[in-house]
Amino acid sequence: MKVFILALLAINSLVTYADSYRVVEILEAEGEKDLYTRVFLDNGEIIQIDSKDALALAKIREALSTGKSVEFNKISHNLKTPDIISEVKLGETLNEAAKPKEMFNQNRFNQIQFSTQNPLENSRISRLSSYNDAQDIMDDMNRRTRDKSQCYNRAHMWTYETLIQSQVSLGKIWLFFTRKYIRDYNYKWWFHVAPYTEVNDSNNVYVLDKGFTSVPYNQENWKDLFMRNKAHCPEITSYSEYENNPEEEYCYLMKSSQYYWQPYQLENLAEKNWKTWGYQNQNLEIAYRDALISWNGIIPEFPSDITIRDEVANEDVLERDVNQPIRGSEPAYTPVEDSSNRIGEYSSELVAGSRVIDNNDDDTGRVVRLISGNRLIFYSDKYRKEYDLPASRFSLKVLCYRDLCERDRVLDTNDNDQGTIREVFENGKVVFYSQKYSRNYTLRASRFSKESQCYGRICTGDRVLDTNDNDRGRIVKAFENGKVLFASDKYNQNYVLSASRFSLKTQCIGSICEGSSVRDTRDNDTGRVVEVFENGKIVFYSNDYRRNYVLDASRFVLR
């Protein structure tokens, strides 16, 4: 398998020509029931061509053998299954990417000692002190990403910015889907990649895949987001192990340093022993342009005078122990155990330094010191002043109130506002950060519903049909109160709606299946089934009108 650097960024499109792609591999149709030939593209996507479309197949095969780029029309727009294409055009012949030139001091790069072909060598992945540290890193990741951006571009931007902003060195974890899995599950992608970090707990590794989750997932749970059969994915250290064993397993996992951008670099390491170290400006430019909704053309620079805690791994640092922690843990505040600093019935609760909320006006702050007469000096966050007040009017900050905890992603059920719980207090009040208004509010915990992976059978990432108005889209988030965040194809916006109004995408309704060539019995229009939903609706691509329609499957017969 030969993988080449992208000439242009891949942007999904309907009924218009997309940008240029490189063909990586062709998986021929097998048997009479397999109607499509699958084509692997260099952006990680898999597309399908009708096996009877001889002209399109000939051009695709020519592109693979000559290295020419391809353009095509997409006549479907699927989230989890390959899109169907037509009208292939051949572009220019592109040369294989040369050995990467590093953007940092070459003399220092030459001093780095490499002795293996393991992509993790000299990676110096940060080992964080706690899960909360990993959550902090994930919270700081750039969230202005395009829905249709490529995973490897998002990951490259996030690892680069984390190195600069937090002085934390992340790794990358790659999930490679084999031919066996792609064929059995009609899967749309042949790889996925995301940043990861190590944490000092029993899970050890957490994946920070902000494109799909809002919290760090341990490696197994992250893998299962994409593996429909929850298959075991052996962890490999060479790209050749994936390339040479397409039928042995359903998938393979691989870890690398943050500097590996695309699979071709992992392939070059395995086949040619070409090392990738450091960030290359031209790759960062491509990554930023594709990853962000709007990019100002500026790539943040690594400051020359930055104080790096524990020698964060960057290009100017020589080899050291990969297991050495890079980001030191900051000790939590520990109140002085002095009996003179405690008062009456609050002796086991309120102490100097405690985070508290004033029950009278929902003002948050901290206890400066305790004074006689069951009073305390309170520093107000709201007014930035100290006040002498009765201790009885304050409630302590706690980790959770009932099942609502600090850092939970939630939905405000009063106005469908999404956000994060910043602080929780024992009186049932929480500090809520609103995404809608970009500010904090102190509100009752009872008005919030927590984000979850699924509500009933409707899960994050599912392709669905809104049965109220036949709008297609995908589920971005689900909440425990039965609401979901729905990304609408029709309006290109997100909406908070009841999960009950959605129907899941499926493969077939009776004999009518995705990809079937069909005839509409009402007006004799012929076309192809693009998507099928459990409520009996299908998305029909009309040959006469060259557009998609949502219609009842019952009105169609196979051609």
pLDDT digits (tens, 9 = 90+) for 304-346: 544 433 333 333 322 222 233 333 222 222 233 333 333 333 3
Largest CA distance in the chain: 90
Q: How high is the pLDDT of residue 447?
A: 94
Residue whose C-alpha is closest to residue 261's, from 240, 292, 236, 290: 290
- Residues of the chain short of pLDDT 70, as ranges, are 1-19, 32-33, 79-80, 93-113, 302-349
Q: How high is the pLDDT of residue 304?
A: 55
Bridge partners (DSSP) of residue 40 are: 25, 46
Dig out the tokens for 453 from the structure: 């992976």
Helices 151-166 and 281-291, packing angle to 10 deg: 110
What's this model's pTM, rounded to 2 decimal places?
0.51
Q: How high is the pLDDT of residue 331?
A: 26
Q: How high is the pLDDT of residue 26?
A: 87
Please classify residue 432 by burial: count the beta carbons closer than 10 Å to its beta carbon, then call 0-12 exposed, 13-18 middle and 19+ buried.
buried
Residue that the structure tokens 């940092």 belong to: 104
Q: How high is the pLDDT of residue 107?
A: 53
Q: How high is the pLDDT of residue 307?
A: 43
Q: How high is the pLDDT of residue 176?
A: 96
For 122: left if phi > 0, alpha if psi spans -120 to 50, otherwise beta; the answer is left
Q: How high is the pLDDT of residue 348?
A: 40
How many beta carbons lie within 10 A of that of residue 48, not counting itself? 23
Q: How high is the pLDDT of residue 401?
A: 87
Dig out the tokens for 488 from the structure: 């609408």
Q: How high is the pLDDT of residue 130?
A: 87
In the chain the domains, ranked by start, together with CATH numbers, are: 21-93 (2.40.50), 106-291 (3.10.620), 339-398 (2.30.30.140), 400-452 (2.30.30.30), 454-506 (2.30.30.140), 508-558 (2.30.30.30)
Task: Kindly write down the DSSP assignment for every residue of 208-241, as one continuous string.
Answer: --TTT-SS-EEHHHHHHHH-TT-----EES-HHH
How far is it, in rounded angstroms, from Cα 516 to Cα 266?
38
